[in-house]
Every structure is written in C-alpha cells, then in structure tokens.
Amino acid sequence: MIYGLIAAIGWGTSAIAATNAARRAGTYIAVLSGQGVGVVLLVLLAAFLHPPLAAIGPAAVGLVGAGLLGLLGYLTFYRALEYGGAVGLVSAISATYGGITTLLAVIVLGEHIGRSGAAGVVLAVAGVAMASARSPGIAEKPPVAVAEPIVGVAPGPSRVRGLSRAGVPLALASAVTYGFGGFLLGDYSARAGALASALVAHGSSVTVLLLALPFLGRRKDGRAGTSGLMWAVAAGLTDAVGLLAFSRGGQVGQVAVTAAVSSVYPVIPLVAGLVMFGERLSRRQLLGIILIIVGLVMIGLN
C-alpha cells in the first residue's frame, strides 16, 4: 500500500508539473526534458545495480516499439494539456491505459480477467464517455494552444475550463498508445528484466526526440524559458519516482494492492486543476472521473 501511495503521489504530481511545463515550454521541449531526466536516472540505477543485459538482444525490437508507443503517449498527453485540456480530466482519461493493457493481456496472452476486472473496464469506459462529453453549460475552448506567449509577457498556465475540442481525442490517443506500449513493455520485461527493459524503451524514445530536435525543438517565440524547463525536469523526476515505487511494489509481491492504490492518482491533478488553474467541471464530468478511478481500482484488484 505504501509503494502504491508513493506511486500515486509521484504520478499525480508529475501531471501537475507536466501541465506547467507544456504551457510554458511547449510539448516537445517538455517531453524531451522529462524523458531525458528519466533516462539519466535509469542509467545511474543500472550502473549501481548491474542488471543482466544478455536477454535484451532477442527483445530489443519489442522494447524499442514499447518506447516509441510510450513516447507517442507522452506527446499526446502533454499536447492535450498545452492545447487546452483540463489537467484533472486529461489525467483521468489517460489513466485508462491500464484497462487497455489488461484487455490486451487477455486477448493476446490469454490471461484471465475476473468479474471485478471486467466490471472495472466497463466502469472506466463509461466514465470516459461521461467525462469527455461536452457540457452545454460550459463554453468550449477553441483548438489552439493555451498560454501562447505575448511579447513582453512571460508565458504561463492560463485558466482552462473544461476540455477543448482538441483535448478529448488527444487524451484518448494518449490512453491507447500508453496501453499498447505498456503491454509490450510488460511482456518483454518478463524476459529481459524490468530495469534493462525500461532503459532500452526510454533510451529509444529520447533518441528519436534528439534526432527530431533540429526540426521540432524550436518554439514559436524561440525560447523555452527557465521556468518551463524546471517544470519539465520536475515532471520527469516525479514520474520516475512513481515508476520506481510501482516497480518496487510489484517486486515485493504486492502487485494488486500497489496497482489499486496507485490508480487513484488522477485525484491529485483533479484537485490541483480546480484550485490552481481555476478549472470548472460539470457534475457529469466529475461523476465520469469518479467512475474512471473506481474502475481503475477494480482492475488493479483483479
């Protein structure tokens, strides 16, 4: 339970930091900085723990695929936040990747899912439908990036209210790519080892980002800003803390409890969105988020 709680705090805090990073530095620079921090931490851990690397060869292609899918998940998640997505809603919708990974394990690997797990998937899907539905009482934001810099004014988070039209498909795309990437990473990690697999997956994503740097790295105003980079680093660090705590929980044999407790992490960005960013959600959206969280907990306990 403790490791699950640490993971929830890490991932929830990471979502808040990612919101500030994406709106200050832009999606590309924010993701590159965060992923780069994650790779540095993994390299340090590998140097300290000396994990076996012999099994990476046969699993290299699958791990690279997992890394690229995970990269797409990060890019769409950050872009949804930058494009006008409420951090609580985007985080909740993106968190349903766990249900997608579970379904893939059942379909591809023939794993068994109990009644509670099946009910959790249904609740999560229903929650996504309710949370992403347009509320007639809340004006929809146009599909343009929020917090665009103005000459002479430092860019920063704007008061986003609800999901923009572009935020919904981006958040859903994040859940799908995270789900497929997580399935590949979990499958190949069983053969190559968790730390070595994570290092290959994250390393491949950072390599692609660095190769794209000359083409995509420049923001409209030509600078990322110190505060944006700092928030991006904070997002990467807290995301790594969540991942390590989750992995440690599974290592000590408390996978179900760790997964269930960590699944409540969207509560943190939800509260932060209401308090810090002035987001206004309808009752239907709040109910949808609650259904998503309950569904994720049920899937974790399956």
- Reading the chain (302 residues) residue by residue, the pLDDT tens digits are 788 788 889 989 999 999 999 988 889 989 999 889 989 988 898 888 888 877 788 788 888 999 999 999 999 999 998 887 788 889 889 888 888 888 888 888 787 878 888 888 889 889 888 887 665 544 444 443 333 333 333 444 444 444 556 677 899 999 999 889 888 887 887 777 778 888 888 899 999 999 988 876 555 444 457 888 899 999 989 988 888 787 776 556 555 666 777 888 888 988 888 888 887 778 888 898 889 989 888 887 77
Would 100 be classed as within a structural domain? yes
- Determine the 3-state secondary structure of 151 from DSSP: coil
Question: Rounded CA gap, 266 and 274, in Å?
Answer: 13
Beta bridge partners of 150: 153
Would 154 be classed as within a structural domain? no
Would 108 be classed as within a structural domain? yes
Would 153 be classed as within a structural domain? no
Would 152 be classed as within a structural domain? no
Would 150 be classed as within a structural domain? no
Burial code (b: 16+ CB inside 10 Å, e: under 16) for 20-50 equals bbbbbbbbbbbbbbbbbbbbebbeebeeeee
The answer to whether 86 and 146 have CB atoms below 8 angstroms apart is no
Q: Which domain holds residue 101?
A: 2-145+159-301
Question: Rounded CA gap, 255 and 300, in Å?
Answer: 8
- Determine the 3-state secondary structure of 147 from DSSP: coil
Would 151 be classed as within a structural domain? no
* pTM for this model (two decimals): 0.82
Amino acid (1-letter code) at residue 53:
L
For the chain, the domain total comes to 1
